[in-house]
Chains A and B, each alone.
Chain A
Amino acid sequence: MKPIESLSDDELAALVNGAAALPDAPPALVKSALGLWQAAQPAVASKTAAPGLLNKIRAVLTFDSWTASPAALGLRSMPSQTRHLLFSAHGRDIDLRIVSSAESYVLAGQILGPDEPGCVELAIDTASEYAARSMLTTPLDELGAFRLDNIRAGTYWMTLKFAGDAVELPQIDVGERTF
């Protein structure tokens, strides 16, 4: 069978016909499959749980300067080489800037929220060829800021660790703008 991207309009239309007819699995089966996850997890960590366990929190992307239109920013153009990302997670905002520097990048950011000590862990996507690389870790300074230099283009996962919480950011793609 030809790859979908090389199908003619008529061939793709025929595929749409089959696709639209593909039935959903019964809701009870889907619910049961979703429930497998919870059943497989160890007891959920919480702040009241045993010391040493971290509450896992997933941050949500709330702003990306590459996807915001110039009009929305009140700008006529986007001359800056800096990509600005904002994430939000349960009362903490994370301001992250990705700056191009020679052949690498600098990831600099600051935690906006409670004044608390913590550190930043940066791991490259385990699906990539650099899977064997070790994780980078840097502590937050007294202003809640951090900086990671010499980061190569790629897909990364960033986790902010505090006394009782581990805040996971969505996947971050570091590299040149392609659009």
Chain B
Amino acid sequence: MTETEQDIERESDAALAARCNRGDGSAWELLVGRYQRLVYAIVRRMGLDEHMAADVFQTVFMRLLEHLPRLTQQDRLQAWIVTTAKREALLQRSRGPRTVSMTRDDDADAVAAEWDVADDALLPEDALEALQSQNQVRQGLDRLDARCRDLLTMLYGDSDEPVAYDDIAARLDMPVGSIGPTRARCLGKLRKLVE
């Protein structure tokens, strides 16, 4: 990625919204890329199945596109997206009982447990905030240099099966003794990227 492309990725939501309003399609691509994980996570955690989640996902981005020219507080774009995703998911759920939607997993009778809950209290504010923070950190991870990203992902990416220091040292071709200091530096870089 060139320096110019990285600069574009660092643009604020407000700057991207302004560019969209000026007819710049590349800004829309960056906005969709920035929020696709967050919107998808919200609608799935609201208990929607694959098909209903797809409908809501599209609706949220369609409403965003329609709403961008009227968005008065462009620095609150994330909050607007989160509120819209949650509201649209609730609306879809309220319509849900009228139709039955099959998921790919229905065939195998193995719907993923973490999504298989249907409760209005499923996504309280603190969980919603956690998702937003995770999305911000994920964007920071994506912009980290490859070495730091690999190190942090190996160290913390899978808490069930953490990768041993010896394996990390071998994979990243670094001494075991430098993993700790490098980890601290990488977390510092990540913190700056998500500030």
Contacts and interface: CB of A to CB of B under 8 A. Distances in A.
Interface stretch (A31-39, A70-78, A92-100, A106-114): A31-39
Contact of B3 (A32, A36, A37, A67): A67
A5 interface: yes
Contacts of B14: 125, 127
A18 B37 contact: no
23 contacts: A4-B136, A12-B190, A13-B187, A15-B133, A17-B156, A18-B130, A19-B138, A19-B141, A22-B131, A22-B134, A24-B40, A25-B39, A29-B58, A33-B32, A33-B58, A34-B28, A37-B29, A56-B23, A62-B4, A125-B14, A126-B18, A127-B17, A127-B18
Q: Is the interface of B mostly helix, strand, loop or mixed?
A: helix
Nearest to A38: B25
Contacts of A26: 40, 54
Most chain B CB inside 10 Å of its own CB: which residue of A40, A125, A127, A155: A127
B61 A33 contact: yes
Interface of B: 3-4, 7-8, 11-12, 14-15, 17-19, 21-26, 28-29, 32-33, 36-41, 54, 57-58, 61-62, 65-66, 74-75, 126, 129-131, 133-138, 141, 152-153, 155-159, 183-184, 187, 190-191, 194-195
Nearest to A18: B134
B75 A127 contact: yes
A168 B4 contact: no
A154 interface: no
Closest 3 pairs between A and B when the two form their complex, measured CB to CB: A127-B14, A25-B40, A19-B137
Contact of B24 (A24, A38, A58): A58
A80 interface: no
A142 to B, nearest CB: 29
B37 A16 contact: no
A24 B190 contact: no
B184 to A, nearest CB: 6
Given A20-B157, A125-B15, A30 B32 contact: yes
A17 B4 CA distance: 29
Contact of B156 (A16, A25, A30): A16
Contacts of B19: 171
Contacts of A5: 191, 194-195
A121 to B, nearest CB: 11
A12 B57 CA distance: 28
A4 B191 contact: yes
Nearest to A8: B187
B65 A36 contact: yes
B36 A16 contact: no
A13 to B, nearest CB: 5
B156 A13 contact: yes
A89 interface: no
Contact of A22 (B33, B74, B126, B138): B138
